[in-house]
Amino acid sequence: MRQAAIVLCAAVAFSWAPHAQVQTGQQQVQTGAQPTQGRGRQAGPPSKGGGQCSANPYNCPDTPNPLPKADTVWVEEMTWMDVRDAMNAGKTTVIISTGGVEPNGPWLALGKHNYVLRANCEAIARKLGDALCAPIVPFVPEGRHEPPSDHMTTMGTISVTEATFAALLSDIVVSFKVHGFKNIVLIGDSGGNTRGMQAVATKFNTEWNGEPVVAHIREHYDYNAVSKEMVSRGLVKEGASDGLHDDPIITMNMMVADPKSVRYDERVKAGKATINGVSIADKAKALEIGKAIVEFRATVTAEAIKRAIAAKGK
């Protein structure tokens, strides 16, 4: 009993210590931890990280990150400290991208648009230099459930209603506003996503008067412009079609994210490594073209984002 009492007293003494410290690398951080008082409410500094500052200094808002700077623009791959430090360094633009889960012929994975955005959002964010990428939204309107329409007539498709899509986007946008992002950008990689993204952007940009800016950037899905550019460079053929929900641009764009998403190895082995008369059998060449597609789309989109921010989303 005596030993337990000593331990208890030591614990209480620490919980009341006004300047508890934690060693992080070469630094000692003062937490200013205070005891918890009354009905579970915490007195003292605010808490972050999912825990109480009074319980562990790594839950305190200003504790230095104990790890090196993360080399990623994806919020889901970052710790809360990584996001905090990125925002403090000026990365206050966040890109919310919407993809889909839909049929795309015999070669492409159902998550076609999500693979495209995995490559493109990162390229856009790095080109801007002050932006992060939110997790890709894969659930978008793809057709009516009953009776099934559009892509919902094919198994594997996931569709949400326009109301659900708008509600989901709205909650994501508000989340980033709460955290202090100054610019919230929406981009899509499917025509069916456009109406919902524009409606959400218009609603919030009007309500908040551009603080933060909320903008839908249509230019990312200006597919005609991408096609014309790639044809002019002689990278894809004009007019040829296999009659599939697929084409060389989307295929090679996906390959930049993951060649498995277009069943590259299986297609080469089966002698099916072409689409609309364009071969992807030379993997290095296909990836080179894919990177050129990503670069073009990222450049066009980044410039459009800059214009939208300058115009306060109007």
Domains of the chain (ranges; CATH) run: 80-310 (3.40.50.10310)
Q: Quote the CA–CA distance of 17 and 89 in Å, as a whole number.
A: 32
Q: Quote the CA–CA distance of 119 and 74 in Å, as a whole number.
A: 11
State residue 33's pLDDT score.
Answer: 38
Residue 133 host element (H or E): strand 131-133
pLDDT level of residue 43 (50, 70, 90 thresholds): low
State residue 8's pLDDT score.
Answer: 37
pLDDT tens per residue, range 237-287: 888 899 999 999 999 999 999 999 999 999 999 999 999 999 999 999 999
58's CB contacts (< 8 A; 6+ apart) are 22, 49, 51, 66
Q: Quote the CA–CA distance of 257 and 264 in Å, as a whole number.
A: 12
State residue 183's pLDDT score.
Answer: 98
Question: Please, what is the Cα angle at 62 between 60 and 67, to 5 degrees?
Answer: 90
**Residue with the two structure tokens 């919980």:** 15
Would you say residue 81 has pLDDT above 70?
yes
16 versus 48: the higher-pLDDT residue is 48
Q: Are 63 and 22 in contact (CB under 8 A)?
A: yes
Q: Is the peptide bond before 248 cis (omega within 30 degrees of 0)?
A: no
Would you say residue 151 has pLDDT above 50?
yes
Would you say residue 295 has pLDDT above 60?
yes
**Class of residue 67 by CB neighbours under 10 A (exposed 0-12, middle 13-18, buried 19+):** exposed
Average per-residue pLDDT for the chain: 88
Residue 69 Cα distances to 24, 64, 79, 93, angstroms: 14, 11, 10, 18
Residue 169 host element (H or E): helix 162-178
